[in-house]
Amino acid sequence: MKFAEEVMEILEAFDLTQSYRTAAELADCAHNPVARYVAAREAGGLSARPVHRAQLLDSYLEKIEEWVEGSRGRLRADVAHEKLLAAGRYAPTTLGDDHRGRRRGPAPASGERPRPARRL
């Protein structure tokens, strides 16, 4: 995804030339993104704000936030996961064995962002 300035540059180049390929040359990108951004603009789908997508944890966030507030932000994600399992809040397969889903719940509630895993 491109920054808003780049998208505006692409759209201005298209407005000037009315050609995907020529606008792509002016904006120094491929013609495919030019076509995609022009189509999105015509459909009214371009926005400077990111779209919120529903997550599997959304239905459990209220309880997780309660636990985070009670622990004053010190609740670990694996502990929250075990508490949800023990309370029967969800089946283990709802989030799968993916640890990323476990980290995403407590992080927004405590105000911190999950750190990406390090690759070796």
Whole-model pTM? 0.42
As a whole number of angstroms, the distance between CA 97 and CA 114 comes to 17
Residue 46 DSSP one-character state? -
Tokens in use for 102?
């476990």
Domain boundaries, the chain: 4-43, 56-110
**pLDDT tens figures, 72-120:** 888 888 888 888 888 776 655 554 555 555 556 556 655 655 555 565 5
